[in-house]
């Protein structure tokens, strides 16, 4: 298993299916994924009050778009929907592994160990930079049936969850990058603008 986002993005090949959602998706994502510079990415998301079929349908569409875009995570704000909803699948090579659907996720505890790994984002394609985050987390959320759940996550999954949860608060991973030189170089290479980054360091 690859250790960070960039490796996953570069080697991502999907096969099999999860329920009725094929991990191998061809063509463009069915939903538009907004890019750095779009105001919609900077809004705070709202909690989902009722988990119903419309939320489950949106989750399926998000998964399809995530797989088509060769990603391992997608947050509703990235498709212009202001709701606390994430879909994640770090096990793209395992056709039997089910993706995570996290509704109203909330981190209730962080581990004390910090790690730096390279991250990427479907909203900033082609840009890969190191970000420091806690290596373990505990969180609570509701699943696609509205059932309350708790889980612990570490390694890549913990990083992916934190990355996607940042989107719910209008934060992008580039906002957390500490090396300004690397940031400028990577953004310029892919045609993005540093003025669209809101540094939180």
Residue 140's SS3 state is: strand
> Biggest alpha carbon distance in the chain?
46
- State how far the Cα of 166 lies from the Cα of 152, in Å rounded to an integer: 18
- State how far the Cα of 102 lies from the Cα of 42, in Å rounded to an integer: 20
Query: Are 187 and 193 in contact, with CB atoms under 8 Å apart?
Result: yes
One DSSP character per residue, 78-99 reads GGT--BSEEEE-S-TT-TTSPP
164 a catalytic residue: yes
Cα three-residue angle 184-190-193, rounded to 5 degrees:
50
Cα distances (angstroms) measured from residue 11 to each of 25, 165, 189? 15, 24, 21
CA 127, 77, 152, 92 dihedral sign is negative
Catalytic one of 119, 164, 186, 194 = 164
Query: Are 103 and 109 in contact, with CB atoms under 8 Å apart?
Result: no
Q: Which residues are catalytic?
A: 164
């Amino acid at each position: 298993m690859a250790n960070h986002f960039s490796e996953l993005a570069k080697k991502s090949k999907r096969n099999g299916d999860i329920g009725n959602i094929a991990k191998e998706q061809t063509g463009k994502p069915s939903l538009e994924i907004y890019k750095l510079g779009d105001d919609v990415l900077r809004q705070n998301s709202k909690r989902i009050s009722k988990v119903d079929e419309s939320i489950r349908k949106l989750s399926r569409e998000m998964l399809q778009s995530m797989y088509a875009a060769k990603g391992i995570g997608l947050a509703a704000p990235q498709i212009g929907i202001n709701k606390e909803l994430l879909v994640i699948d770090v096990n793209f090579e395992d056709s039997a592994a089910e993706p995570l659907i996290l509704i109203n996720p909330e981190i209730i505890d962080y581990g004390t160990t910090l790690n730096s790994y390279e991250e990427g984002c479907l909203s900033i394609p082609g840009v890969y930079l190191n970000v420091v985050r806690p290596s373990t987390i505990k969180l609570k959320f509701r699943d696609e049936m509205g059932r309350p759940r708790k889980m612990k996550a570490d390694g890549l999954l913990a990083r992916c969850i934190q990355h996607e949860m940042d989107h719910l608060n209008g934060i992008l991973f580039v906002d957390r990058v500490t090396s300004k030189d690397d940031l400028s170089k990577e953004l310029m290479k892919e045609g993005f603008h540093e003025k669209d980054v809101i540094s939180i360091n």
